[in-house]
Amino acid sequence: MTTPYAEVIGDPIIQSKSPAIHGFWLRQLGLDAEYGRAHVLAGDLADYVANRREDPAWVGCNVTMPHKQAIIPLLDRLHPAAARIGAVNTVLREGDALIGRNTDAPGFLEPLLPVLQDEFAPQEVLVIGAGGAARAILVALADAGLTITLAARDTDKARALLDELAPAKGNKVMKIADLARPGYGAFELVVNASPLGMAGNPPLTFHFGQASEAAIIYDIVTAPSVTPLIEEARSRGLRTVDGLSMLIGQAAEAFEHFYGQPAPRGAGDSGGDAELRAFLSGGV
């Protein structure tokens, strides 16, 4: 009997931590299944999907840059959340059909849920970046009822993105260059949804005068896991959420879809991921 497997696809793909995360959980559960990675160029995406359709051992894949939108026409249908977000990060086989889902939104929101349920939950959020990564984040924040300011190089693109995904009154845009200037301390949650600060990319220039004294700084970049933005926020005594939190959260949802069992996460929240985090950092 052929071993069932899933994988992550993208270009580049060598940097992905998904094989390590899923492999860790598979070993913990003792499941006879595998999870790998496939380097898929944009011009090869259609062939990849066609070939995997014919492989009965393939149960699905995670999708990362630059394929989250390009893969949509190659699938049979979309889960409603993925259709609304307009991006797919998880493909599942259901019989002969390939279904596109998006686990980025719940994965992003998971570490914020205790805070958002608090009496003093943040209301004003700054999201940095108007690319593909921002789509699921904007939907998650809009559904949580937060007022959003979207910072981007192209404010017309940012406005169109807000109008599509988070059209509530009060949501606005700003130029990303203005982040380097002192602000009014209005933002209670700051989310970097751009590649700025990622290894091999320019740094994110952010003036902490844009954030309130009790702000939460959330950087979805995972390489490095502690970005300069996170490091500076911690030195100021601010609460932070790193990119691994979102990555592990979205991976846990995908894992259950792929293998039919919940990911073994200890306490069932971010506090239950300490062993996995230690493994990812080389500590175990």
Catalytic site positions: 68
DSSP string, 118-151: STT---EEEEE--SHHHHHHHHHHHHTT-EEEEE
37: tokens are 């990675």
Which residues pair with residue 150 across a beta bridge? 127, 173
Q: Tokens 């959260």 map to which residue? A: 249
232: tokens are 């500076």
- Nearest-10 crossing angle of helices 243-259, 18-29: 50
- The closest alpha carbon to 127, from 206, 225, 223, 213, belongs to 206
239: tokens are 């609460």
**Is the sign of the CA dihedral 229, 232, 238, 244 positive or negative?**
positive
